[in-house]
Amino acid sequence: MCGIWALFGSDECLSVQCTSAMKIAHRGPDAFRFENVNGFTNCCFGFHRLAIVDQLYGMQPLRIKKFPYLWLCYNGEIYNHLTLKEQFGFEHQTNVDGEVLLHLYSRFGVQKMASLLDGVFAFILLDTANRKVLIGRDTYGVRPLFKLLTDDGFLALCSEAKGLTELSHTMTTQASVEPFLPGHFQVFDLKPNGKVQSIQMEAFHCCTQEPAHAVYDTVERLPTSFDEETVKSNIRALFENAVRKRLMSHRRIGCLLSGGLDSSLVAATLVKLAKEDKLQYPIQTFSIGSDDSPDVLAARKVAAHIGSEHHEVNFSVEEGIQAVEEVIHHLETYDITTIRASVGMYIVSKYIRQKTDSVVIFSGEGSDELAQGYIYFHKAPSPRAASEDSVRLLKELYMFDVLRADRTTAAHGLELRVPFLDHRLTAYYLSLPEEMRVPRSGVEKHLLRESFKGLDLIPEEILWRRKEAFSDGIMSFKKSWYTCLQEHLESVVNDDQMKKAHVTFPHNPPLTKEAYYYRQVFEKQYPGRSKWLSHFWMPRWTTATDPSARTLSIYKPDKDQ
C-alpha cells in the first residue's frame, strides 16, 4: 500500500502543486519523495511509501541502470514477480516486486506487460526515450487510481481523488477528476512542453477470461471436468494458492475476521499456511462490534477453532456516528451501504495501527460478488441472470466494497490483501456452469460452502452461517447498526430538506434522511463531485429502497445467534 501522485505539463509552480500530494500521506507513513523529471521542468512524481517488500531499494519513482529512460511509480503487489523473472531470464537490480514491470515493458510493450501481472496494482510509467506516459490499473481496481486531464493536455494522477481536486490549471471550468477504469491501460504522447495527448485506451483483462499469466502459475493446469467433486477440489486448490501467494511480505500479517463465511475461510487458510511456512509469529485476527453482536460471537468461535491470536474491538453507536465524517473524507463517496460498512472497518483499522504491529491485512472481499452471496440472489429469475449480475458486481467493485476496503485500511497505513479476487480463482469460478453457482436449498454460496465441507477448516455452523451484512452484524440482532444510524439522523435532516432532495441533488437524489446526511457531508468536502458515484448499491429483483439485507422480505436471521 502506497500513495502515488504525478503531474505532466503543470502550468503552476510545482512547489505550489506539491501540497496536494500531501493529502494522501496516510497511504505511505514510512517515507516520502518528490522528484522532478530531467528535461521536463513541469513534470514530477510524488510518492508516499509503506515498506512491504525490499526495505532497501523500495523508494520510487523506481529507476534502474539498464533502463535509465524509464521512471516507474506504482502502488501494489506483484505476486508472480519471481516467476516472471525466472521465466524470461530478467536480470534484476533490486528485490522490488515492481521492477519486473520495467523488464516486461521493455521486452513486450504495455499490453502484454499488464496482462502478465498477477497481483494488484496502479502504475504510472514514464518512457522519456519514446516520449510516452503509460498508466494502468488491476482487473478489479483493488488499488485505486484517479485521473485529471484538461483540454490543453495537463495530466495529473493520484491514488485518491483528494490529491487532485485543488490543483491549479488553466481551464476556466472545473476539471473533471475520474476514477481510472480497472483492467485497462492508457497511453499518452508526451509533448516537448510536458503536456500530453491520449493515443490509446484499452482493456487488458476481464474477470471472465483466464488471465495470461496462468500459464506460468505454480498451480498446474486443472482438470476441466464439471463433475462436482472435481470442481470442489479445483476451488480448494485455487483458493489455497490465492492465499499462499499473498504471504509475500517483510511486515507482520494479520486478518480481519467478521465470523462470516468469507473472512473465516481466509483466516483459517492463512493460519494453516503460516504454520506450514513456519512464520515466526502467530497470525492476529481482528473482529469489531458490540458485545452481543452476531459477528463478535461468531468470530470468537472461529478464532478459537483455528488458534489465532484474536483481538476484539468494541465500539459504540456514538463512536460510530462520530467517525462518519472522517470516513466519508477517506472514502470519497456518499454510497449508503459503503459508508455504513466502512465505519466498523475504519475503527478496527485504527486499532490495528495503534495497538499492534500487523501491517498486511487479509480480508474476505469479493466472495459475495463472485459466489452470489447476497441474499437477493435467491430472487434471481434464472441462473443466467444471476451469473450476469455476478459479473456486473465484480466489474463495479471498485466503486463499492473494494473502495471501502482500500480506503479504510489505507487511512491508517495498512495494506489490504483480498484472496477471493485472485484472477485465476475468479476466472475459474465464473467459467463453471451457471446452474452450479446459484443458491441451493435456500442457501447462498452453496457451491463454495460445499467445497470446504467436512474438512474441519472452520466450524460447521460457521460454514453454513447465513449471509449477514458487515454493517448489520456488528451490532446486536435486536437493533442493527443501520437502525441506530437512522434513528440518530432522524433529527439531523428535516422533512422540508427531504421534499426538495431531488432539486438540491438532481444526480442520485437521496431517498432517506440517512442518505441525505451522507450526501451533505460529501458535498461539503467534495463540492460538485457527485458524478464520482454513478449509482447507489442496491439489491436487484426487489423493490428495495435500502441496501440492508435486513430490510428484505427474504432475510431470515440465524436462530442460534
CA dihedral 242, 243, 248, 252 (to 10 degrees): 160
Distance between CA atoms of residues 260 and 491, nearest Å = 33
In terms of Cα–Cα distance, which of 57, 81, 61 is closest to 70? 61
DSSP tag of 347: H
Distance between CA atoms of residues 137 and 144, nearest Å = 8
Is residue 97 annotated as involved in ligand binding? yes
Q: Is the four-CA dihedral 326, 329, 334, 337 of positive or negative sign? A: negative
Report yes or no: 3 and 160 within 8 Å, Cβ to Cβ. yes
Find all residues with CB under 8 Å of 154, minimum gap 6, and list them: 7, 8, 9, 10, 11, 148, 169, 170, 195, 196
Say whether 522 sits in a helix, a strand or coil: helix
In terms of Cα–Cα distance, which of 242, 222, 215, 241 is closest to 88? 215
Distance between CA atoms of residues 199 and 130, nearest Å = 13
Q: What are the φ/ψ torsions at residue 11 (nearest 5 degrees)? A: -90, -15
Q: Active site includes 2? A: yes
Report yes or no: 16 and 26 within 8 Å, Cβ to Cβ. no
In terms of Cα–Cα distance, which of 42, 5, 4, 9 is closest to 197? 9
Report yes or no: 405 and 327 within 8 Å, Cβ to Cβ. no
Neighbours of 191 (CB within 10 A): 14
Output the CA–CA distances (angstroms, integers) from residue 8 to 3, 18, 446, 458, in the order listed: 17, 13, 50, 51
Say whether 17 sits in a helix, a strand or coil: helix
In terms of Cα–Cα distance, which of 236, 215, 211, 242 is closest to 79? 242
In terms of Cα–Cα distance, which of 458, 455, 414, 311 is closest to 29? 414
Distance between CA atoms of residues 534 and 179, nearest Å = 11
Which residue's C-alpha cell is 481551464? 171
Strand partners, 362: 255, 417
Strand ranges in 262-389 using DSSP code E only, listed in sequence order: 284-289, 309-314, 358-362
Which residue out of 2, 73, 158, 207 is catalytically annotated?
Answer: 2
Is residue 256 annotated as involved in ligand binding? yes
Is residue 471 annotated as involved in ligand binding? no
Helix ranges, 397-490 (H):
401-410, 423-431, 434-437, 446-451, 460-463, 470-473, 481-489
Is residue 56 annotated as involved in ligand binding? no
In terms of Cα–Cα distance, which of 11, 3, 53 is closest to 33? 3
Pairing type for strands 358-362 and 252-256 reads parallel
Which residues are identified as catalytic? 2
Residues comprising the binding site?
Answer: 97, 256, 288, 363-364
Residues comprising the binding site for L-glutamine?
Answer: 97
Residues comprising the binding site for ATP?
Answer: 256, 288, 363-364
